[in-house]
Amino acid sequence: MNLFLQQLVNGLSIGSIYALMAVGYSLVYSIMNFSNFAHGSVIMLGAYFGYYAMTILGLPFAGAAVAAALGSGLVAVALERLAYKPLRDRRAPFLYFIITAMGASMFIDNSVIATIGPTPKMYPEIFGQGPIALGQINVGRIDLAMLVISAASLAALILFIDYTRVGKAIQATAYNMKASALMGISPNFVVILVFAIGGALAGIAGILYGMKYQVFPQIGAITIKSFIAAVFGGLGSLPGALLGALLLGLLETFVSGYIPNGTQYRDLWVYLLLIIVLIVRPAGIMGKSSEDKA
């Protein structure tokens, strides 16, 4: 029983990381109807921004988190302005967006490798060392911190979207960009805002990821998991992304923990589930069933 509970905790801890990543990605998708495949690179940059904020600028965790969110938010907006907006203006086919996103992620990831280098870096231990024991179960300190921060960020986001005027403007634009523009909501403004928020969430996800594991340039590769999590939960749905991510984390952990040699095959199970979801219910758990899936 204890083994099971420990694995449960392990699974939720991985899931909460995926959640932060998936929500930012899903947010952008819900507005732009486009998968920002460069999201992973923004997350990775967040990890580095936070790291340097702590080590070179000597900021405490809160300051570093803000630095990471700001830095990543800026990068995301820059990406939008420089790479995606020109395509949008030209009504470029959907294919071009994906290609550009891929190019951007390749550019960012390898720039970091070529300049800072591929050797992983370690965040200073600010939450103290050693686990926190709840009976027989051990929870890492950083996991608890992450839980709190993720929950807070997501709550803030949902409150913002549902209860502020600007949030409603975002919802309106997601529903129908042209009509909202006619009602006086500037689509440009909304797009920039959405990318900024998505980027900020990515930045926080990055610094938390870096603290939980290590800081290295290939962090972006993890994000394929967050795409899958978002698909599970329903692309475009924020609560769905959260749910999908937690489920994914649990799935991974239980495959690894209970199936013999599971850790080697773990990702295979994830992809298998992805295919099943895409065939049976492409809208995901909480996605709106939309006709243009086909």
Partner 1 sequence: MEYILGILELSAINLVAVLGLSILTGFTGLFSFGHAGFMAIGAYIAAIMTKFWGLPFWLAILAAGLAAGLVSVLLGRLTLKLKGDYFCIATMGFGEAIRLVFSNWAYVNGARGMDRIPQFRGLDLAIPFVVALLAVVVAWNLVNSRQGRNLVAVREEELAAQMAGIDVMRSKMVALVVSAVLAGIAGALMANFIGFIAPKSFNMTKSTELTIIVIFGGLGSISGSVVGAFLLTALPEIFRAFSDWRLVFYGLAVIVIMVGRPQGLLGGSELTPSGIRKMMAARRARIEFAKAKSSGGGAA
Partner 2 sequence: MRLRTFVIALLVLSLALAGCAGTGSAGNVVKIGWFGPLTGDTALWGQAEFNTVKMMVDDYNAAGGIDVGGKKYKLEAVGYDDKGDSTEAVNVMKRLVSQDKVVAVVGPQGSGEAIPIAPVAADNKVPYVATTATNPKVTVQDDGKVNAYSYRACFTDPYQGKVAAYFAYQKLGKKSAAIFMTVDDAYSAGLAQYFKESFEKLGGKVVAQESFASGEKDFRAPLTKIKAANPDVIFMPNYYTDVALSAKQARDLGIKQLLLGGDGWPSENLIQLAGNALEGCLFINHLDFDGAAAAPMRAEYKAKFQKNAELNSYMAHDAFVMIVDAMKRAKSIKPVDIKAALDTTDLAVGTGNNDYLTNPITGHIKIGPTHDPVGKTAWLIKIVGPDMKFQESFAAQE
Residues that bind partner 1 (CB under 8 A): 29, 34-35, 37, 82-83, 86-87, 92-96, 98-100, 102-111, 113-114, 221, 224, 227-228, 231, 235, 264-265, 267-268, 270-272, 274-275, 278-279, 282, 292-294
Q: Which amino acid is at 255?
A: V
Query: What is the bridge-based pairing of β-strands 132-134 and 137-139?
Result: antiparallel
Residue 111 within binding range of partner 2, rule CB under 8 A: no
The rounded distance, in Å, linking the Cα atoms of 111 and 24 is 23
Give SS3 for 215.
strand
Residue 13 within binding range of partner 2, rule CB under 8 A: yes
| Residue ranges with strand state E in the chain | 132-134, 137-139
By C-alpha distance, which of 154, 197, 158 is closest to 16?
154
Backbone angles phi, psi at 230, to 5 degrees: -65, -40
CB of 155 to partner 1, least distance (A): 27
> Which two three-digit tokens encode residue 236?
């475009």
What binding mask, one character per residue, do residues 131-170 give for partner 2 by CB under 8 A, x or -? Answer: x-x----x-x------------------------------
Residue 7 within binding range of partner 2, rule CB under 8 A: yes
Nearer to partner 1, 168 or 266 (CB): 266
Interface positions, 241-270, toward partner 2 (CB under 8 A): 252-254, 256-257, 261-264, 267
Considering only 1, 129, 178, 294, the residue that binds partner 2 (CB under 8 A) is: 129
**174-180-186 Cα angle (round to 5):** 95
Handedness of CA 231, 232, 234, 236 (dihedral sign): negative
Binding site for partner 2 (CB under 8 A): 3, 6-7, 10-11, 13-14, 113, 117-120, 122, 125, 129-131, 133, 138, 140, 213-214, 218, 221-222, 252-254, 256-257, 261-264, 267
